[in-house]
Amino acid sequence: MPITIHPLAPHLGAEIRGLDLAQPLSDQDFETVRQAFYDHGLIVVRDHPFGDDDHIRFSQRFGELKRLKFDAYLGERRPEIFVVSNIKKDDQYIGAHDAGMFWHSDGPFLDQPHGPSALHALEVPEQDGRALGNTEFTNTAAAYDALSPEMKRRIEGMQAVNSLARRFELAQREGVQGTSAARQASGEVLAAVHPVARVHPVTGRKCLYVSDGYTTEIVGMPQDEAKALIKELTDHVVKPDFRYTHAWRVHDLVMWDNCATQHKATFDYKLPQRRLMHRTTLEG
């Protein structure tokens, strides 16, 4: 079956049909997939069951996989797999249960932020036949392009601080108990400075690289002015025009670009409705 590309929303996402992740992928087909990924910022592959080994093998076609530090949530058999789940075993969450409460990309608090992330749905909560726990995505390159010329000039050369502590603080404010961010942050201050308009390492497009979930300061700007600017930009980046919402089915794989997109989870389900996702994460 030939591989075909089907855009999902005006500015973001494409479904790739005819791709079975459990089967070998020729170099030529991979090139089609890779091109679609960078053209659309996000790809969806569905309809064929696959396992962790397939997930890892496919992800590695894009580059080197990261081994994340958060031991508690690494897959038992494959440490390349990061578990996102609300399921508990012996009274402990088996995965990050609060991943994606706020708009964010993965890893901006690192000097070398993550490359793409790829999330595989193993269990999807549902109610009356409708999937719960959607993930929303937005395109940060389209958002940059839509800024006024004045705003583009204003943020030219500007740098911002992105901190894991911000997510911890927001989660605490929301009253989340035992946040995984708290566990991840324990003992370590993770923060990094990146351009507000970050040039994409592959496409060369400028991407708005500030997020509600992680951006705390603009370098060299008084804090009240910085807060107002961050709010203006983070409100802009999530405007409906730039967005795609993914309603999960079991064995969907969604791979997103952590420079050209941001994402946010939806918490409209709770146990006994179970959600289990496995994520691979690429080096930036």
- Least Cα distance to 159 among 211, 109, 209, 232 occurs for 209
Q: Which residue, judged by CB position, is nearest to ligand OGA in the bound state?
A: 100
C-alpha angle 135-191-283 in degrees, rounded to nearest 5: 60
Count of chain residues binding ligand OGA (CB under 6 A): 11
Residue 78 Cβ, how far from ligand OGA at the closest point, in Å?
16
Look at residue 277 and give the partner it binds from Mn ion, ligand OGA, none, a contact being a CB closer than 5 to 8 Å depending on partner kind.
ligand OGA
- If the CB atoms of residues 45 and 101 are measured against Mn ion, the closer one turns out to be 101
- Annotate each residue in 73-102 with x if it binds Mn ion (CB under 5 A) or - if it does not, as one string: ---------------------------x--
Residue 11 Cβ, how far from ligand OGA at the closest point, in Å?
20
According to the binding rule CB under 5 A, does residue 106 interact with Mn ion? yes
Helices (H) and strands (E) in the chain, counts: 7, 19
Question: What stretches of the chain adopt beta strand conformation (E)?
Answer: 4-7, 14-17, 42-45, 82-85, 88-89, 92-93, 117-123, 126-127, 130-131, 135-139, 159-163, 191-195, 197-199, 206-208, 215-218, 243-246, 253-256, 261-265, 276-281
- Annotate each residue in 77-116 with x if it binds ligand OGA (CB under 6 A) or - if it does not, as one string: -------x--------------xx-----x----------
In the region spanning residues 188 to 227, those forming contacts with ligand OGA, defined by CB under 6 A, are none
CB atoms within 10 A of CB 4: 13
Residue 44 Cβ, how far from Mn ion at the closest point, in Å?
16
Q: Is 87 left (phi over 0), alpha (psi -120 to 50) or beta?
A: beta
What residues contact residue 232 under an 8 Å CB cut-off, 6+ apart? none
Candidate residues 42, 65, 119, 164; the one interacting with ligand OGA per rule CB under 6 A: 119
Candidate residues 16, 131, 147, 277; the one interacting with ligand OGA per rule CB under 6 A: 277
The footprint of Mn ion (CB under 5 A) covers: 100, 106
The footprint of ligand OGA (CB under 6 A) covers: 84, 99-100, 106, 117, 119, 135, 263, 265, 277, 279
